[in-house]
């Protein structure tokens, strides 16, 4: 996010693709992920430019056939307190940082809720600061985004990512089934 606008590869692709179709994409930040999904469901927002596809979301939105990107969520830890991520059991009794509203899928969400101590914050800057201060054991974020933020915050010498991803999957455009632009969906697949 830059000012109030969503930026990045998915934003650029959406602007280019829909621009070629004669439409301008408004890339305004509408709030946390959960609110965004609710707004897609209600039709208040037409397009989510970067979303995992799952059965729940397919009930209220249509996904592009071609993925826009691939995302790999990784576990970020302090270098001095690094532990191997070998599966969800590696997170048992750990203090794990997540941004409010972020879901990693039912299996991981349930495991974290039942076996870990999940600490939620409004942004990754706060979570990485907590990690550096040893208030939490790890932060979960997309590998590339996490590395970019570590560089931005000057923490890339203190914090590293586990080599094994927690979640790896493709990201798609998803269009609200309530959108008046839903007929464009077949042009974006």
Instruction: Give the pair of three-digit tokens for residue 56.
Output: 């729940």
Model's pTM, two decimal places? 0.71
Q: Is the dihedral of CA 141, 132, 127, 130 positive or negative?
A: positive
Distance CA 142, CA 96 (A): 14
**What is the pLDDT, as a whole number, of residue 182?**
86
Range with top average pLDDT, 30-34, 53-57, 111-115: 111-115
Give the mean pLDDT of the chain: 90
Element (H, E) at 167: strand 167-176
> Does residue 189 register a pLDDT over 60?
no
pLDDT given for residue 188 in this prediction: 53
Would you state the pLDDT for residue 161? Answer: 96
If one compares 186 and 103, the residue with the highest pLDDT of the two is 103
- Contacts of residues 25-31 at CB distance under 8 Å and 24 or more positions apart, as own/partner, are 25/49, 28/4, 29/1, 29/4, 29/5
Mean pLDDT of 160-187: 87
Residue 174: what are its φ and ψ, rounded to 5°? -130, 130
Residue-range domains of the chain with CATH: 9-68+169-187 (3.40.190.10), 72-168 (3.40.190.10)
Contact 182, 176 (CB under 8 A): yes
pLDDT value of position 187: 52
State the Cα angle at 57 between 171 and 42, rounded to 5°.
120
Residue 8, sorted as left (phi over 0), alpha (psi -120 to 50) or beta, turns out to be left
Confidence class for position 151, pLDDT limits 50, 70, 90: very high
């Amino acid at each position: 996010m830059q000012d109030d606008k969503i930026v990045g590869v998915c934003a650029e692709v959406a602007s280019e693709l829909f621009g070629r179709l004669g439409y301008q994409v408004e890339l305004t930040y509408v709030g946390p992920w959960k609110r965004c999904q609710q707004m897609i469901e209600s039709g208040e927002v037409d397009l989510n430019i970067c979303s995992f596809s799952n059965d729940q979301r397919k009930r209220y939105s249509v996904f592009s056939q071609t993925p826009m990107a691939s995302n790999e969520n990784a576990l970020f830890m302090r270098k001095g307190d690094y532990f191997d991520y070998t599966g969800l059991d590696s997170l048992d009794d750990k203090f794990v940082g997540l941004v409010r509203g972020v879901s990693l899928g039912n299996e991981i969400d349930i495991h974290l809720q039942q076996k870990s101590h999940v600490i939620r914050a409004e942004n990754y800057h706060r979570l990485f600061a907590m990690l550096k201060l040893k208030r939490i054991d790890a932060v979960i974020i997309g590998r590339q985004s996490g590395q970019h933020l570590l560089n931005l915050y000057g923490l890339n010498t203190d914090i590293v990512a586990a080599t094994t991803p927690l979640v790896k999957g493709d990201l798609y455009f998803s269009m609200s089934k309530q959108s008046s632009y839903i007929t464009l969906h077949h042009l974006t697949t």
